[in-house]
Structure 1
């Protein structure tokens, strides 16, 4: 095969394969939770009744992977861990009969020996508006 033909074939093959595989960009994939999620800076577009405040919190020891040369280089949870926490909380809300979690707030803290997080939200039920006839 000639050098130019090989190059052309290689370009064709790579473009054909690139069309077959769609790269997954993590932040574009929004998880599907059992209830609607509204963070502290968002509001549902319909009226709701707050049912109960929910909170998940935990502390874990600092692990070696967080440290480099005795300096902490990784703090808090990664996105997947946060999504798992939010999934747990959304299931709790669903079990209460909620349609949404509103005012969801996530915070973390780190000390020399401990990592911790707090996830808070309010389980809410959408208000059904009946038309009077």
Structure 2
């Protein structure tokens, strides 16, 4: 069995149920924060963009996803005219992590034939 989110799995003593639950919470909150960040950037609300990018960064670090955390940090430093270029550069790393999280949680649901603690999985919008 391939270990998904290995840093988090080690921290949780390879308890797949706990790992799946934490990854689900990460996915759920980070996808919402990314969507809100996009809206805030469109509205030129740069303090909100920085705060949301920071939240995404911390969430990524909590599940051991350092590349995605680095990408979120890059977004937190970009504002105004520079943001569009930074967003094109850094967003794919974050989305890739969210896609992996969604796949991991979804696979666990399929294996159990019921969602963890009655929580369903959404999908990442690209």
TM-score when scaled to structure 1?
0.26
TM-score (norm 2): 0.27
Query: Rg bigger for which structure?
Result: 1
Higher-helix-fraction structure? 2
**Which structure shows the bigger proportion of residues in strand conformation?**
1
- By relative contact order (CA 8 Å, sep 6+), the higher-ranking structure is 1
